[in-house]
Structure 1
Amino acid sequence: MKPPYENAVVVVTGASTGLGRAIAVGAADQGAKAVLINYASSQGEAQETARQVREHGAEAVIVQGDVASDADCQAIAAAAEPFGRIDALFCNAGKTTRPAHAHQLDKLSADDFVDVYRVNVVGTFQTVRACRDLLEKSDRAAIVVTSSVAGVTGNGSSMAYSASKAALNTMVLTLARGLAPKIRINSLAPGFIDTGWFDKLGPHRDKIRESVIERTPLQVASTPGDIAGTALFLGCEAANRVTGETLIADAGLRMTGG
């Protein structure tokens, strides 16, 4: 049985750390020919992702760019042109803003919403648009968008973040119609992922992790590697009859109201 990503050309945005890195390295491990690693500002971490990709046998190409910039999205696509096609595009770049929930309306500004939407929603759209021509040159083209269970439950790091992920899920439905029949696109909605993002919370990190384990039916705190496997499934031919879906991978947390 051939590897799922045998000879594939893969593009991963936001690939310097966390889930993006796990997807990039996972694709290389599953046979990818080349992995394009996009990052916005973390050059050193992107280089580490590239090192791991090469260690798993794939060519690694690092591309700096902020998906909020259409010109940068075009540059990401241009970096893949020498390969003649893109087989799988993982739109993983995203951002949030400071915590603000339903009882904290005054803590979010219009600019907060715009900043988050510019990356999470507009940035994803721009990346897809820039890469469409190269995707259409593949006979197995797939796009996987990193959303969040927050876009389904409304319970995330901030209202702006949750709303942006809900918009992203809806946009995937629209794009699935527009990109068919040549390109599949699906949304992956993880729950808690134990990444370095939580380091800034200091001692609260362990409390959050323990709370997630306690409240989650599967009693786990997911790692980037746990979720990358699901993303890679959606991006390969094993899911070749799946498009326009939002697949929740939260270990069941939403069932508890978490």
Structure 2
Amino acid sequence: MPSLKGKRVLVVAGSRGLGAEIVKQAAERGATVAINYAASKERAEELCKSLPGSGHVLVQGDAFTREGCESIVSAATNGLGGLDAVVSNQGYTKFASWTDLKSVSDEEWLKILNANIMSHLWVIQAAEEQLRANKGSFLISASVAGLYTNGSSMAYSVSKAGLIHLSKGLAKSLAPDIRVNAIAPGLMLTEWAAGFSEAQVKLSTDAALLKKVSDVPDVAAAYMMLMENGSITGEVLEISAGLGH
């Protein structure tokens, strides 16, 4: 079984929320981490300073453009001296009514599809050479919204469903050199969840078998397991406190 000790890990959108917890747990396991951030420089710097070990780097860049993804991967590769794993954690949504088909404009639909599908494709296209050479791991942040018809908006749910299918396609296309897996968390109480009302949070909690939201450290731990397990690819791991059952 692979170990993260001494491995070089890029976490796209890694300065806050789930991304920051993934960064912390990877560093605690002995990995050297490249932390990508878009605008939160101070937060990224504070996170980097708090990490155990040395050699961690910050990588500023916009993961929602092809050029940005290429720049992020290039800077991380140069900063770490190579890549053994990439966590593609970026995403975007608009909170909107499911019952109003015009609640999300065409422009917003395309923005969501670009952020939640195309950006992940651009990241792996940029990182493919490094990950193939190092028999590495590519992890995608999906969502239970891609498995069931729920979430912040129909556009978001559809985009995450497409992302899940992309992850399965990539696993097939990149085998046997690169392991590709997706993680589908339920509702997590990060800054992202600020768009949900208290009633919506309660509805999600009540619907889960464990009667709770998905704890961020628990979700991040799944990324560690998938990076360290050399026998899993093409899977979608739901971590939702039983929300989908």
1:86 partner amino acid: L
Quote the residue 2:204 is aligned against.
212
Q: Where does 1:51-62 land on structure 2 (aligned, <5 Å)?
A: 51-53=49-51, 56-62=52-58
Segments of 5+ residues of structure 2 without an aligned counterpart are none
> Does residue 67 of structure 2 align to residue 71 of structure 1?
yes
> Does residue 8 of structure 2 align to residue 9 of structure 1?
yes
Do the aligned partners of 1:35 and 1:58 also contact (CA within 8 Å) in 2? no
Quote the residue 1:122 is aligned against.
118
Match of 1:137 among 120, 133, 140: 133
Q: Where does 1:147-158 land on structure 2 (aligned, <5 Å)?
A: 147-158=142-153
Quote the residue 1:112 is aligned against.
108
2:239 partner amino acid: A
Do the aligned partners of 1:15 and 1:49 also contact (CA within 8 Å) in 2? no
Do the aligned partners of 2:59 and 2:76 also contact (CA within 8 Å) in 1? no
When the two chains are superposed, the root-mean-square deviation of aligned CA atoms in Å is 1.8
Structure 1 residue 3 displacement after superposition: 8.9
Structure 1 residue 60 displacement after superposition: 2.0
Match of 1:161 among 126, 141, 156: 156
Do the aligned partners of 2:63 and 2:69 also contact (CA within 8 Å) in 1? yes
- Total equivalences in the alignment: 244
- Taking structure 1 as the reference length, the TM-score comes to 0.89
> Does residue 238 of structure 2 align to residue 254 of structure 1?
no
Do the aligned partners of 1:86 and 1:137 also contact (CA within 8 Å) in 2? no
Do the aligned partners of 2:139 and 2:180 also contact (CA within 8 Å) in 1? yes
| CA distance in 2 between partners of 1:200 and 1:114 (Å) | 20
1:220 partner amino acid: K
SS of structure 2 residue aligned to 1:136 = helix
Quote the residue 1:38 is aligned against.
36
1:93 partner amino acid: Q
Segments of 5+ residues of structure 1 without an aligned counterpart are none
> Structure 1 stretches (4+) deviating beyond 6 angstroms?
none
| CA distance in 2 between partners of 1:4 and 1:231 (Å) | 13
Which is further off, 177-186 or 71-80? 71-80
Which is further off, 124-133 or 74-83? 74-83
Identity %: 34
Structure 1 residue 41 displacement after superposition: 1.9
- Taking structure 2 as the reference length, the TM-score comes to 0.93
Quote the residue 2:86 is aligned against.
89
Quote the residue 2:173 is aligned against.
178
Structure 1 residue 137 displacement after superposition: 2.3
Structure 1 residue 93 displacement after superposition: 0.6
Do the aligned partners of 1:84 and 1:134 also contact (CA within 8 Å) in 2? no
The verdict on how the C-alpha distance between 1:8 and 1:110 changes in structure 2, with shifts beyond 3 A counting, is same
The verdict on how the C-alpha distance between 1:160 and 1:200 changes in structure 2, with shifts beyond 3 A counting, is closer
Which is further off, 82-91 or 175-184? 82-91
> Does residue 228 of structure 2 align to residue 231 of structure 1?
no
Do the aligned partners of 2:184 and 2:237 also contact (CA within 8 Å) in 1? yes
2:116 partner amino acid: N
Do the aligned partners of 1:185 and 1:244 also contact (CA within 8 Å) in 2? yes
> Does residue 189 of structure 2 align to residue 194 of structure 1?
yes
2:23 partner amino acid: A
1:180 partner amino acid: A
**Per-residue CA distance 1:89-145 (angstroms, 9 max, x = gap):** 1000111113231x1112111111110111111100000111111112214x00110
